[in-house]
Amino acid sequence: MFRMCPAVNVSLVVLSLTFLCTVAIAVDNTPAPDFSGLWIHPTLPGFEPPLSGPGPVRNLSRTRAGVSDFNRLAGDYNNPILKPEAAEIVKKHGEMSVAGVGYPTPSGQCWPGGLPYMFWNLEMQMFQRPNEITMLYLIDHQVRHVRMNVSHPARVIPSLSGDSVGRYEGDTLFIDTIGIKPGRFAMVDMFGTPHSPALHVVERYRLIDNEAMKQAAERDEKENLRLPDYTNDVGIAVDREYKGKGLQMEFTVEDPAVFTTPWKATITYRRGATEWREHVCAENMHEYYNSKDVDVPTATRPDF
């Protein structure tokens, strides 16, 4: 079972973001699409399978309604995208979850999640500048920096978020990320699917009309568990009266050490009805639903 870390809600200090409001320009000197504002995708685990072709690992455990059972994360280890060793890891995690034995995940351990794991985040904001895009994610205020219109360095220093470079092509924002370091709890999804240093993720963001957004959301909610709207301090709520465009992100994952083929998935974002809140992950090694402690980093001697 995946354990969402407890969130401590604190008032967000309002800073001047004037420097982030400069209009970005595409490579062909046309105005770039505006992706600013609060975006929400209120489903878990959150990856939407593609309409065709290889897709992500899906949950074998289903609720009575037929959607992914978020309390029993049993990844489909028979998915042909998985190489044998990766399939065994996914199977092991699934057996643990079904047995009620939680396994550590980045977000469950207050640990930064790499790509594409962090895409499960329910809320996202994007600030566009000509030379850089800054992306904020809800849980534990994770931040990404995407350098625009440049290439990856010849020698990338691996990091948990990797090295991300972007460009606009018409109405689409492309982000290419390599150098994603496998951390202590490295996984590409909540099913524990592993990755290697060769992981390569490409994101494509574009605005879609309101009807297409609704249709994509309906497909998503047939696969993933939709959370109810929270209008309290948790602040996760979709604006049901919104008539404008939605934001859709399609991402492609390659990792020859883990996967037999590249695969794709989609995240469909809708406008939020609440203000952005800062959520701080409160470290807590005890799983109350399991009456046990989970694996956390420990030191053999104090630092002081």
Q: Is the pLDDT of residue 264 over 90?
A: yes
pTM above 0.95, yes or no: no
Please list the alpha-helical segments (H only) found in the chain: 84-98, 210-223
pLDDT digits (tens, 9 = 90+) for 230-245: 765 556 889 989 999 9
Structure tokens at 265: 């998935």
Mean pLDDT throughout 268-294? 73
Q: Is the pLDDT of residue 297 over 90?
A: no
Phi, psi of 254 (to 5 degrees): -130, 135
pLDDT digits (tens, 9 = 90+) for 93-127: 999 999 988 888 988 888 888 999 999 999 999 99
pLDDT digits (tens, 9 = 90+) for 163-219: 999 999 999 999 999 999 998 889 999 999 999 999 999 999 999 999 999 999 999
Give long-range contacts, CB 8 A cutoff, 24+ apart: 7-14. Answer: 7/139, 7/234, 7/279, 7/280, 7/281, 7/282, 8/279, 8/280, 8/282, 9/233, 9/234, 9/235, 9/277, 9/278, 9/279, 10/278, 10/280, 11/278, 12/275, 12/276, 12/277, 12/278
Number of Cβ atoms within 10 Å of the Cβ of 15: 7
Q: Is the pLDDT of residue 287 over 90?
A: no
Q: Is the pLDDT of residue 136 over 90?
A: yes
- For position 81, what pLDDT does the model report? 98
Q: Is the pLDDT of residue 284 over 70?
A: no
- For position 295, what pLDDT does the model report? 62
Written as one string, the DSSP assignment of 122-166 is SEEEEEE-SSEEEEEETBTTEEEEEEES-PPPSS---BSS-EEEE
Structure tokens at 78: 């028979």
Q: Is the pLDDT of residue 17 over 50?
A: no
- For position 2, what pLDDT does the model report? 43
Report the mean per-residue pLDDT for the chain. 86
Q: Which helix (H) or strand (E) holds 208?
A: strand 200-208
CA distance 271 to 72: 29
- For position 154, what pLDDT does the model report? 96
Q: Is the pLDDT of residue 1 over 50?
A: no
